[in-house]
Amino acid sequence: MSTAGTAFHPLGMRTAGLRRERLAPDDVSGISDPQVERIDALFVQSATAFSSAPGSITLHGLADSTVYFADRPRREIGHIPSQRFVELWKEGASNFSVDPPNAVLSFLDQDGEAPPDAVVLLGEPRLEGSALSYSVEILDGTLPARGGPCSLFIDVFGRPLIPIATPGSQAGKVA
């Protein structure tokens, strides 16, 4: 199937007949082309700092855009405003509020002090200025109370991310 002349919806949809560069941020939820096809897009949100409390995480100094990418065969990449990503959380029949995504929180290693990655189930995003908070359920690992630069890798709709159990794992604990 040729993808020439097509545009990809950044929340996992592709539409035929629309040119990608003509889509404005507000257009992504209003695509009504009957030839819509799902792609498995992953999302990445980056921030300058991190904090957690029981049942929640906050990304401080959130980047203005959320990056998305799809693997083969599409190999599509792009970004949408982070505010728009939050707005799209509840839009459509298959959305993240209906099927909450798994995510991996990964920290930048500064002086060998980076905490290990943690796997979480995300819910209820709240954006206030440059701080983005999510309710979370910890699936694997431990969340530090505070951290430096980090990235949140958000899984696609409907694809389970099953954490690997390791001896001595402290899944579900907040430091």
String of b and e for 94-109 (b: at least 16 CB within 10 Å)? eebeeebbbbbbbbee
Percent of the chain with pLDDT over 70: 67
For residue 68, what are the CA distances in angstroms to 13, 19, 71, 112, 143?
12, 18, 10, 28, 24
149 neighbors 110 (Cβ within 8 angstroms): yes
Nearest to 133 by CA among 125, 121, 144: 125
Domain span including residue 111: 41-159
How many domains, the chain? 1
For the chain, what is the radius of gyration of the CA atoms? 17
Assess if residue 124 is contained within a domain: yes
Burial class (CB in 10 A: 0-12, 13-18, 19+), 131: middle
Evaluate if residue 21 carries a pLDDT over 90: no
Assess if residue 24 is contained within a domain: no
Per-residue model confidence as pLDDT tens digits over 49-89 = 999 999 999 999 999 999 998 877 777 888 889 999 999 88
Assess if residue 96 is contained within a domain: yes
d(CA 56, CA 39): 29
Q: Mean pLDDT for the chain?
A: 75
More confident residue, 166 or 117: 117
Per-residue model confidence as pLDDT tens digits over 113-135 = 888 999 999 999 999 999 999 99
Assess if residue 81 is contained within a domain: yes
